[in-house]
Amino acid sequence: MIKLVLIGSGNVAQHLISSFVGSKDIDLVQVFSRQKEAVSTLFDSNKITNNFTDLVVADLYILAVSDDSIAEVSSQLSFENRLVVHTAGSVSMDFLDQKNRRGVFYPLQTFSKNRTVDFSAIPICLETEFDADFEILEKVAKALSNQVFKINETQRQSLHVSAVFANNFVNHLYQISNAICAENNIPFEVLKPLILETANKVMTLSPSEAQTGPAIRNDIKTIERHLSFLTNENQVKIYKILTQSILQNGTKL
Amino acid sequence: MIKLVLIGSGNVAQHLISSFVGSKDIDLVQVFSRQKEAVSTLFDSNKITNNFTDLVVADLYILAVSDDSIAEVSSQLSFENRLVVHTAGSVSMDFLDQKNRRGVFYPLQTFSKNRTVDFSAIPICLETEFDADFEILEKVAKALSNQVFKINETQRQSLHVSAVFANNFVNHLYQISNAICAENNIPFEVLKPLILETANKVMTLSPSEAQTGPAIRNDIKTIERHLSFLTNENQVKIYKILTQSILQNGTKL
């Protein structure tokens, strides 16, 4: 059984703890959390520490901490030559202190508190400093997910940027959409089937095949009607730039 | 049984025909299609006409034609004082010829060829010129969908604009996301779980509760890393404007 220590107590850490606790292939031997209470409902509190010098020996240490803390936390580890990985999409492996063997364990998903996620459907992207370490990291990832990928730093960076478009920006468009409806006393409920179908469509069609609407039809009259309908300057700006982008790149991006 | 004639042969018309054919409450008595072959696999070809003068008597005529054809097609109808509705989100009821009783039957969804849709989950938004006509239109809508709404022209217009954000623009962001991945030899498959979860999240959380990512965290370092990673000028422009909008409106749109 692979012995694992998890360091962190934020959203990603908590989702990982819950999933590793339920895994029969991984022995989560310890969790490090500055505030023990943050994770005490998820894990045996006798095995939670807030002291770096108490960290036990393990095959793998996963640092699920904020991007900015990776360098500092990894430098505080009091051991050497063990396998230590972070979970960040946009941070180089090199930010980890080089006294240990380094790697990345990046689960590509959006994690929110109070929302359970099914790790089996989450792609986990792996990178290791030394080839010999890849196998163990892969075993740990496969204990959680059916989709495990070996990707290098540039690929991971591109994935992180892509995810900003496919998640952060998409969610912001939902928010604008909701705001426009709310101003006209229409409940967000009305938009939900459209939002789901929009996502489901690209499970089988490519995004360019799935594109519909006035911009891809070059329907200038409807675009102008929409622009004169919108009163919020920010919404007008976003409408214009995305319409322009569809007009120009709709079928060839 | 309500007698219905459907006029049109495009995506929306085809999806409506398939659904009405399967409905036990509606009698689809005739379909008008300029080219009979376009709909002959969906409907009894003896009941398809391409001649306006052959249109039979019915309780309701649904014009599922392109926005630009609504006025012309409705003026070609050779009868008067019958209930005639169009299916367009952004076109006023007034574009229908006033010799008939007018209305709107707007199904809020994205329709693509070769993709079946489940009308029972599609909101249908109704408007009628005369109150007395609402009941029949509502019956027809309820024969297809569990979500039927009475909305006025301004509300429908706002819904149509909202749908451009929640569908057309969202899908375009999927396309950009896919393009960034493809350039780095990452299959679009990797992004699919994130896309689905992004949509599923707002089924239970509001979009502002669901927002994650560098912009909402005010994580300028990551934003700058992303901007220096992107090489496509159009992608940079879209990244900047949406990041700016989240920074400014992320929690209060």
CA A76 to chain centre: 25
CB contact (8 A) between residue B206 and residue A178: yes
pLDDT digit string, tens, across residues B10-44: 989 999 999 999 899 999 999 999 988 889 899 99
Mutation site, A164, A196, A216, A232, interface B, largest B CB count within 10 A:
A164
> What pLDDT, on the 0 to 100 scale, is given for residue B92?
95
- Whether A69 and chain B come into contact, CB under 8 Å, resolves to no
Q: Evaluate if residue A127 carries a pLDDT over 90.
A: yes
Q: Which of B114, B142, B137, B138 has its CA nearest to residue B14?
A: B114
Nearest to B110 among A67, A157, A212 (CB): A212
What 3-state DSSP class applies to A25? coil
> What pLDDT, on the 0 to 100 scale, is given for residue B116?
79
pLDDT digit string, tens, across residues A175-234: 999 999 999 999 999 999 999 999 999 999 999 999 999 999 999 999 999 999 999 999
**Confidence class of residue A33 from pLDDT cuts 50, 70 and 90?**
very high
B236 contacts on A by Cβ (under 8 Å): none
Note down pLDDT in tens along chain B; length 253 residues: 999 999 999 989 999 999 999 899 999 999 999 988 889 899 999 999 999 999 999 999 999 999 999 999 999 999 999 999 999 998 999 999 999 999 999 999 888 777 778 888 899 999 999 999 999 999 999 999 999 999 999 999 999 999 999 999 999 999 999 999 999 999 999 999 999 999 999 999 999 999 999 999 999 999 999 999 999 999 999 999 999 999 998 664 4
CB contact (8 A) between residue A171 and residue B207: yes
Cβ proximity of A100 and A77 under 8 Å: yes
pLDDT digit string, tens, across residues A145-170: 999 999 999 999 999 999 999 999 99
> What pLDDT, on the 0 to 100 scale, is given for residue A222?
93
For chain A, give the mean pLDDT. Answer: 94
Q: Evaluate if residue A252 carries a pLDDT over 50.
A: no
User: Mean pLDDT, to the nearest integer, of A7-36?
Assistant: 94
> What pLDDT, on the 0 to 100 scale, is given for residue A251?
64
- Whether B70 and chain A come into contact, CB under 8 Å, resolves to no
Mutation site, A126, A155, A196, A242, interface B, largest B CB count within 10 A:
A242
CB contact (8 A) between residue A211 and residue B164: no
Q: Evaluate if residue A253 carries a pLDDT over 50.
A: no
CA A200-B231-A250 angle, to 5 degrees, is: 40
Mutation site, B67, B164, B181, interface A, largest A CB count within 10 A:
B164
CB contact (8 A) between residue A212 and residue B112: yes
Predicted TM-score (pTM) of the model is: 0.89
CB contact (8 A) between residue A226 and residue B164: yes
- Whether B22 and chain A come into contact, CB under 8 Å, resolves to no
Q: Evaluate if residue A99 carries a pLDDT over 60.
A: yes
Per-residue H/E/C for chain B? CEEEEEECCCHHHHHHHHHHHCCCCEEEEEEECCCHHHCCCCCCHHHEECCHHHCCCCCEEEECCCHHHHHHHHHHCCCCCCEEEECCCCCCHHHCCCCCEEEEEEECCCCCCCCCCCHHHCCEEEEECCHHHHHHHHHHHHHHCCCEEECCHHHHHHHHHHHHHHHHHHHHHHHHHHHHHHHCCCCHHHHHHHHHHHHHHHHHCCHHHHCCCCCCCCCHHHHHHHHHHCCCHHHHHHHHHHHHHHHHHCCCC
CB contact (8 A) between residue A176 and residue B242: no
- Whether B207 and chain A come into contact, CB under 8 Å, resolves to yes
User: Mean pLDDT, to the nearest integer, of A60-64?
Assistant: 98
Dihedral angle at the C-alpha atoms of A7, A11, A12, A15, nearest 10 degrees? 100
Q: Which of A161, A66, A91 has its CA nearest to residue B240?
A: A161
